[in-house]
């Protein structure tokens, strides 16, 4: 019972901080929009979400203590650097690994505020929304990833595969 209460308090705290981080990122958006060239690197390592065989609502196995510690450290770093692309991508990757899909979505959406021309980020957001069972949001992001002029053939193929799965 104590562990459950502690986990619930930690989850509530993370949710509150995620909302606060999103507000900070949105407040920084006008300054980012005035930047002539994006500071976001073009080749961020994106979280490996899953294949199209996954079902919405499917969760990964429980996180190991090492994964949880890495996630907590990345979360703190994201609080310290709410608009740093590498920090956001790393946090999203770890969040996916431990099953914090909402946290990963928040980080990736902040990454789009920093640089909206990232079809890989839109693809991963589409996949994550699909995993949550939010088909409309998934379709929006997947279609945007597939249609982006900067999208690689691999991104287009993967977006198409998830679009087919989301439309079923």
pLDDT per position as a tens digit, 72-102 = 999 999 999 999 999 999 999 999 999 999 9
The structure tokens 């407040």 sit at 27
Confidence of residue 32 (pLDDT cuts 50, 70, 90): very low
Q: What's the pLDDT at 100?
A: 95
What is the residue extent of each domain of the chain?
Answer: 1-30+64-116, 117-168
pLDDT at position 168 over 50: yes
Q: What is the pTM of this model?
A: 0.67
Choice between 124 and 22, residue whose per-residue pLDDT is larger: 124
Task: Judge residue 142's burial from the number of C-beta atoms within 10 Å of its C-beta, 0-12 exposed, 13-18 middle, 19 or more buried.
Answer: buried
What is the spatial distance between Cα 45 and Cα 53, in angstroms, rounded to a whole number? 22
pLDDT at position 18 over 70: no
Q: What's the pLDDT at 63?
A: 85
pLDDT at position 4 over 90: no
DSSP annotation string for 103-166: HHHHHHHHHHHH-S--HHHHHHHHHHHHHHT-HHHHHHHHHHHHH-TT--HHHHHHHHHHHHHH
Q: What's the pLDDT at 62?
A: 81
């Amino acid at each position: 019972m104590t562990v459950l209460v502690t986990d619930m308090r930690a989850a509530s705290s993370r949710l509150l901080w995620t909302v606060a981080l999103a507000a900070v990122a949105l407040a920084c958006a006008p300054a980012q929009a005035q930047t002539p060239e994006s500071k976001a690197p073009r080749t961020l390592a994106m979280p490996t979400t899953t294949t199209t065989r996954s079902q919405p609502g499917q969760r990964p196995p429980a996180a190991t203590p090492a994964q949880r510690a890495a996630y907590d450290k990345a979360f703190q770093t994201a609080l310290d650097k709410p608009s740093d692309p590498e920090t956001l991508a790393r946090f999203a990757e770890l969040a996916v690994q431990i099953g914090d899909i909402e946290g990963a979505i928040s980080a990736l959406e902040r990454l789009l505020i920093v640089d909206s021309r990232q079809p890989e980020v839109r693809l991963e957001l589409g996949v994550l929304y699909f995993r949550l069972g939010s088909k409309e949001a998934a379709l929006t992001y997947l279609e945007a990833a597939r249609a982006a002029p900067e999208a690689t053939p691999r991104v287009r193929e993967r977006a198409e595969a998830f679009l087919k799965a989301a439309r079923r």
